[in-house]
Structure 1
Amino acid sequence: MKLTSLRVITKDIRPSVQFYEKVTGLTARWYTEDFAELSAGTITIAIGSLRTMKLFGGNPATPAGNKNTIIEFMVPDVDESYERIKTLTNDIIQEPTTMPWGNRSLLFCDPDGNLINFFTPVSDEAIKKFS
């Protein structure tokens, strides 16, 4: 088995895709007006409009309904990323903080309220884990 993508369902796809492009520095590839993807190397962030849920036989996903999952990105310098991110959202949950497990972490929300963590390994153990 290979995890290939994480899909975010949104009520308003254009602003959501633009937000992810700005925070990641990636360019989205649009497949339809209701579906785009941003490839982040080993995983893809897929963004679909609420209308795409009808193709799955109903409405199994609800935008902004997810408060138990965090989308995580390892970045070269989380403090540098914070300077850019804080101009893109007013929804910063936690400014860069060094966590007990050795990552320096920035937690914020996308336009639909989904949690996003940018982190940089800073302890010897965390650096070793991700190298």
Structure 2
Amino acid sequence: MKLGEICLETNDVVKMADFYRNILNIYSDCRDEVHQSIIEDVITLSIYNNGEVKNNQNQNISVAFTVDDVDEEYKRLLKLGIHIIDPPKLQPWGAKNVHFCDPDGNHIYFRSFPK
């Protein structure tokens, strides 16, 4: 297993993505208002708006781990007694995610990509 993505949830994807591209000196002409990826080399930084208003009180960060098979990891998480928020689901950007929280309530995703 490896860390696959850091996702910052925000009310304004374009503004936030532009800020990170500017400070990291990365060019992209993406203007997507829902989801943008900033770095795609070793780790991806994503900026995302799920449609809910954010209050910017340390609950706007998600951590995603890339796994070989998210369906198998989902079964393992269930056996461990982990409360699953969203079972495995294919996302519009191509990842298949399972969503749960850590003990502090931070959002965690295990994901895999179709081969």
Query: Normalising to structure 2: TM-score of the pair?
Result: 0.47
Q: Give the TM-score of the pair, scaled to structure 1.
A: 0.42
| Larger helix proportion of the pair | 1
Q: Which one has the largest radius of gyration?
A: 1
